[in-house]
Chain A
Amino acid sequence: MTSAIKSEPFILNIGPQHPSTHGVFRVKVTVDGERILDAEMVMGYLHRSMEKLAEERTYTQNIPFTDRTDYLSSMSNNLGYCLAVEKLAGIDVPDRGQAIRVIMAELQRLASHCMAVGAFANDTGAWQTPVMWAFREREKILDLFEMTAGARLTCNYMRIGGVAFDLPKDFVPMARDLMKTFPAFIDDIDGMLTENEIFLVRTRGVAVISPELAVNGSLAGPMLRGSGIAWDIRKADPYCGYEKYDFDIPIGYQGDSFDRFIVRLEEMRQSVRIVQQALDALPGGPHSTQVPLALRPPAGEAYARVEGPRGELGYYVVSDEGPSPYRFHIRPPSFINLSVLKEMTVGGSVADAIVALGSVDIVVGEIDR
């Protein structure tokens, strides 16, 4: 790669139409042969002006918008928004509603990590097989969502003050069965990829994020934990009664792509644990409190954060006592995690850049909103 032969650097557009950009996202890289000299992110191809639109709709009407930001984890997004509004209006959620929210959020994490792990393996060149296996399992989770919320991808299930519907009769046994078989699938993917020498050499030492960079870049989720930083909103700032469940935070060693991958795998195992505990201790009672349809919270502001699949997912809502938010803002983890892409890719090769991008696990709907 490094040689005395002079070659002309040229600019390569990766995206917006490219198999590995996970949507319409574009990186303008300056390359010398295969080595990347500079990387510039170009985003906004999927901008839908959600934050402005939300100012014209009532608080309840805004829930479907949150489905469509990070469309791979709509449950977590619903949850973050509802928590923010509940904090603003001072609404309490009954125990059963809390437990259902935890189950749904963790199932959503499993579904989203299935996608992340599969797509990441696809980016390293494992042609479609891991992604297909992951999709197979993800479908089963989406089946659970469909029988509960009526939709698979954009669930629109959480409501201010609880959840939209109580769990259907078959949900608990089906979820239990799925949680019994799920660890075997995680072991399959684990054995297929982490025991594979080619996968190791492609991901180890690639796109390293130092702990300092991870903190300074305000990274969150597996990106942060991959660099060896034990940080999880579910532990640091529990919501929905997460303090009642027993689970561990997996952290990586040196912050390379491989660490982020194994952190995600282990998080899936922990999510299975949480779902099992929540199913066992599912309390009775109402699933939701009665909240007026035209909610007018007292003037003020509230910020609520949840540990989404991609990291700290924050919702900031300002009220002026009107029926719709005065200001509505999202802290999208993909967008902020992506801010270190240049540090991750410069100096590596084009193939490494794709692996780096895959290890961030972006959802373009969330970046552009």
Chain B
Amino acid sequence: MALEGFGPAFAFWLLSAITLISAGGVMMARNLLHAVLFLIVTFIGVAGFFILLSAEFIAMAQVVIYVGAVAVLILFAILLTPRSARDNSETVWGAPAALLSIALAAVLIFVIHDTAWSETNSFQAPSVEDLGRALLSTWVLPFQLASVLLTAALIGAIMLVRSPEEEAEDALS
């Protein structure tokens, strides 16, 4: 589906507005929980962009992973944070950060605008089957490396939350 016609164009602008406003909300919200809720809306907006680009699988993965897992994990982290350290406060870094991000945005827009994009008219969206084949043939090494990394992270997380008693038990056996 190309970005032509009324429907897709309307969807694009709507999604852009939602994503940008909620991304702004993430920064502006004083309440940490509100910031996370805005972040979730941003994730869903990005998933909408993927659908517009005919990448349904990636869109669904975006929702499953970012909304279903990452955001929920962040919520969990907030639940375990002491109330006193929970909310955002004013910092002196606000103005410099704003300047820096404006500069970065300017550079990015400049680059995007000036790049000679190669355009194609015969675009066929890759199916899930193509993705799977690519992951298990051409890109099998990075795929496996990512799996090993995630397993290491998983084991590390378990090690981090073990209680001293459990460690003592393991040392004895």
Contact = CB atoms under 8 A, between A and B. Distances in A.
Interface of A: 2-5, 7-8
Contacts of B129: none
Contacts of B165: 2
16 contacts: A2-B163, A2-B165, A2-B166, A3-B161, A3-B162, A3-B163, A4-B160, A4-B161, A4-B162, A4-B163, A4-B164, A5-B80, A5-B161, A7-B80, A8-B82, A8-B83
Interface of B: 80, 82-83, 160-166
A114 to B, nearest CB: 41
A3 B164 CA distance: 8
B123 to A, nearest CB: 49
Contacts of A8: 82-83
Contacts of B83: 8
Contacts of B80: 5, 7
Contacts of A4: 160-164
Contacts, number: 16
A5 B82 CA distance: 11
A8 B104 CA distance: 41
A7 B82 CA distance: 7
A8 B163 CA distance: 17
Contacts of B82: 8
Nearest to A1: B163
A25 B82 CA distance: 31
B100 to A, nearest CB: 34
In the A-B complex, the 5 residue pairs with the smallest Cβ-Cβ separation, listed nearest first, are A2-B163, A3-B161, A3-B163, A8-B82, A5-B80
A2 B164 CA distance: 9
A62 to B, nearest CB: 54
A172 B163 CA distance: 64
A4 to B, nearest CB: 6
Contacts of A5: 80, 161
A248 to B, nearest CB: 43
Contacts of A7: 80
Most buried by A among B80, B83, B160: B80
